[in-house]
Chain A
Amino acid sequence: MRAPDDTTIKAGQTLLSVENVSLSFGGVKAIRGVSFDIKKGEIRAIIGPNGAGKTSMLNVINGFYHPQEGQITFKGVKRKKMRPNDAANGGIARTFQNVALFRSMTTLDNIMAGRTLKMHSNFFWQLWRYGPAEREEIEHRHKVEEIIDFLEIEHIRRVPVGRLPYGLQKRVELGRALAMEPELLLLDEPMAGMNLEEKEDMCRYIIDVNNHFGTTIALIEHDMGVVMDLANRVIVLDYGQKIADGTPDEVKANKAVIDAYLGVAH
């Protein structure tokens, strides 16, 4: 079931590479021949105008969409056709553009749900909630409390997330993804619709996650200031094609990017 662990990737080596991926829905080409790589330990940003194929790219990476062409290699293993839960097994977690939390469950349960893959006690013990089942529940509760502590959401532990304000929901969603202890964390517009203060908080959490846990992060974001500060390297998509790839400074200076996206007066 689980991905072989012998292929450990060291920091700075390629964790995930996307080669020549194309994706279309019927006649609409969402992604056309995009290639890039994500190195272990970096923060990689994907930017581009609306409809450029950013979210589709994330969906391809975690196996929700199947590209018609191209190859994805994760941790040195070429990927065959897979179900999304295989990606989760392999250590890819993500958050969503429109918060996709389990709305009627509490914060605690949401983050506990993120630990699903790490829990193995069988059905028999679950029935009695005894022995391994109970031990496991407590053990994972410790882990989850660490995350709750880290994200400073102790006070909303028992609140159903549907009742929380948007900013907090985004934070809970990050917590749920972190609970999976992913190697690669995909963040789809983690700061959309937030005010300045919330954005600053979120940036801090992202940097902390990257520093403390060494988690590789790929994020989509529209706020250029945030992207330039956070990211080690940036990919720019436009109409499904990659038009630039490099450090924030390189990208900022790129003519094609300025034309397509940054929209500085000519």
Chain B
Amino acid sequence: MLCVKPYGMLCKIFVVPFYEMWDLPDIFVQTLWEGLVGGTLYSLIALGFVLVFKASGVFNFAQGIMVVFAALSLVGLHSLGVPAFLALILAAGIMFVLAYSVERVVLRPLVNQPDIILFMATFGLTYFLIGLGELIFGGDPKVMITKQLYIPTGALSFDFGGGRVELQKLDITAMVVASIMVAGLAVFFSKTRIGRALRAVADSHKAALSVGISLNQIWVIVWFAAGLVALVTGIMWGARSEVSFALEIIALKALPVLILGGFTSIPGAIVGGLIIGIGEKVGEIYWGPLLGGGIESWLAYMIALAFLLFRPQGLFGEKIIERV
């Protein structure tokens, strides 16, 4: 209707989507909201990565499976008859045990190894946790114990631009919890003694050691913090869909988020997550049909890739000067 023959395709790419956004604002707002929520979850996973990367320089490939593992522990414990909140505390305990064992078995023997070796170690850890998780809990998807944890469900809906926009209460909760957690971490990092030690370790392992900071203790703390973040992420994500190992693949989308935000920046992780979340939702709804749909599976990576070519150091990173 709008597009005339010779410019058909160009028009479909550059005109029609924007016309649709303007024409049906309710759908556009709904899309933005969905993107925002998806982005929040990416941000949370990325946050777990950043915590570990900052304090130990380890690119923690296992963060995704930690999310799955934490959520599975919670659901699994509850299905054994443990009351929901006790199960939550026990799941946190499991994450602590995990953090402690990782430090003991994986990180401590590999201290001062090249980054790539540490990355591969977390790759091995991912394999191990996938096997362990499937062995204990089985491979079938599980339902998150949303009600038992008193997470509000249902939707708020209101009229907007000639249609209805629905906001899931669950998503609102997720965003509130995420904000609280980020704020809490920020305070923890900047105000406490441990936070200061963490930042020292992030700058230089050797220098931190030489002033008497215990690396091992710090590592257990950050991995535990990452585990808690994973638990929260797992609950939120599980409540939105279900708890399954497929989450581990989706969690890889935290990597493009990190590229946008930089590997060491907490605000970067948040902003990057939101950009990726909104970008891929809007892309899927308005441009996806042109390509046959399903572009959500790779759009995030392509956005990050395109971004890298222009700003290799990320949004908040500093320009790297190479020295010899």
Measured between beta carbons, the chain B residues less than 8 angstroms from A59 are 324
B116 at the interface (CB under 8 A from A): no
Contact between B321 and A96 (Cβ–Cβ < 8 Å)?
no
Q: How far is the CB of B113 from chain A (nearest CB, A)?
A: 13
Q: Mark A8-43, 1 if CB is under 8 A from B, else 0.
A: 000000000000000001000000000000000000
Interchain CA distance A45-B232 in the complex, whole Å: 62
A100 in contact with B324 (CB, 8 Å): yes
In the bound assembly, the distance between CA atoms of A104 and B204 in angstroms comes to 25
Cβ of A96: which chain B residues have Cβ within 8 Å of it? Answer: 324
Q: Which residues of A contact B322 (CB under 8 A)?
A: 64
Q: How far is the CA of A25 from the CA of B324 in the complex (A)?
A: 15
Within residues 23 to 82 of chain A, which ones have a CB less than 8 A from any CB in chain B? 25, 55, 59, 64
In the bound complex, how far is the Cα of B322 from the Cα of A190, in angstroms?
21
Query: Which of chain A's residues 186-245 have a Cβ closer than 8 Å to chain B?
Result: none
Interface residues on B, range: under 10
Place the interface of chain A in its size category.
Answer: under 10
Give Cα A59–Cα B323 distance, bound, in whole angstroms.
9
Q: Encode contact with B along A70-101: 1 for CB under 8 Å, 0 otherwise.
A: 00000000000000000000000000111010
- Summed over the interface, the residue pairs from A and B with CB atoms below 8 Å come to a total of 9
Chain A residues closer than 8 Å to B324, beta-carbon distance: 55, 59, 64, 96-98, 100
Interface 0/1 of B310-324, CB less than 8 Å to A: 000000000001101
Closest A residue by C-beta to B321: A25
Give the distance in Å from the alpha carbon of A55 to the alpha carbon of B324 in the complex.
8
Give the distance to chain B from A221, nearest Cβ to Cβ, in Å: 17
Contact with A along B40-82 (1 / 0, CB 8 A): 0000000000000000000000000000000000000000000
Interchain CA distance A97-B324 in the complex, whole Å: 7
State the CA gap A125–B321 with chains docked (Å): 39
Residues of A within 8 A of B321 (CB): 25
**In the bound complex, how far is the Cα of B322 from the Cα of A55, in angstroms?**
13
Q: Which residues of B contact A98 (CB under 8 A)?
A: 324
Residue of B with least CB distance to A62: B324
Report the minimal beta-carbon distance from A142 to chain B, rounded to whole angstroms.
30
Chain B residues near A55 (CB-CB < 8 A): 324
CA distance A96 to B322 in the complex (A): 14
Report the separation of the CA atoms of residues A48 and B321 in the bound assembly, to the nearest whole angstrom: 23
Can you name the residue of chain A whose Cβ is closest to the Cβ of B322? A64
Q: Roughly how many angstroms separate A59 CA and B324 CA in the complex, as a whole number?
A: 8
In the bound complex, CA of A131 to CA of B322 (Å): 40
User: When chains A and B are docked, how far (Å) is the Cα of A64 from the Cα of B321?
Assistant: 11
In the assembled complex, how far is the CB of residue A32 from the closest CB belonging to chain B, in whole angstroms? 18
- Per-residue CB proximity of B181-195 to A under 8 Å, as 1/0? 000000000000000
Q: Which residue of B lies closest to A58 (CB)?
A: B324
Q: Which A residue sits closest to B324, measured CB to CB?
A: A96
Chain B, Cβ-Cβ closest to A94: B324
By beta carbon, the residue of chain B nearest A59 is B324
Nearest-Cβ distance from residue B117 to partner chain A, whole angstroms: 13
Closest to A97 in B: B324
- Would you give the shortest CB distance from B250 to chain A, in whole angstroms? 36
Q: What is the 8 Å Cβ interface bit string for chain B, positions 280-324, against chain A (1 contact, 0 not)?
A: 000000000000000000000000000000000000000001101
Cβ of A67 to closest chain B Cβ, rounded Å: 15
Closest B residue to A188 by CB, please name it.
Answer: B324
Cβ of A57 to closest chain B Cβ, rounded Å: 13
Chain B residue nearest to A55 in the complex (CB): B324
* Distance of A178 from chain B, by nearest CB (Å): 19
Shortest C-beta distance, B124 to chain A (Å), equals 21
Task: Say how far B211's CB is from chain A's closest CB, in angstroms.
Answer: 24
Chain B residues whose CB sits within 8 angstroms of the CB of A64 once the complex forms: 322, 324
Nearest Cβ on chain A to B273's Cβ, whole angstroms: 30
Provide the residues of chain B in CB contact with A100, threshold 8 Å: 324
Once the chains are docked, how many angstroms separate the CA of A228 from the CA of B321? 34
Which chain B positions have C-beta within 8 A of A97? 324
CA distance A100 to B324 in the complex (A): 8
In the bound complex, CA of A60 to CA of B263 (Å): 31
The answer for the CA separation of A64 and B324 in the assembled complex, in Å, is 9
Q: How far is the CA of A97 from the CA of B322 in the complex (A)?
A: 14
Question: Which residues does chain B contribute within 8 Å of A25, judged by CB atoms?
Answer: 321
Complex interface bits, A92-134 against B, C-beta within 8 A gives 1, otherwise 0: 0000111010000000000000000000000000000000000
CB distance from B129 to the nearest CB of A (A): 30
Q: How far is the CB of A93 from chain B (nearest CB, A)?
A: 14
> Could you tell me the distance between the alpha carbons of A213 and B322 in the complex, rounded to whole angstroms?
32
Bound form: Cα–Cα A110–B322 in Å: 22
- Report the nearest A residue to B319, measured CB to CB: A26
How far, in Å, is B44 (CB) from chain A's closest CB? 35
B residues bordering A, Cβ < 8 Å?
321-322, 324
**6 additional A-B residue pairs with CB within 8 Å, beyond A59-B324, A64-B322, A100-B324:** A25-B321, A55-B324, A64-B324, A96-B324, A97-B324, A98-B324
Some 9 contacts from A to B, beta carbons below 8 A apart, are A25-B321, A55-B324, A59-B324, A64-B322, A64-B324, A96-B324, A97-B324, A98-B324, A100-B324
* A-B residue pairs, 5 tightest by C-beta: A96-B324, A25-B321, A100-B324, A64-B324, A59-B324
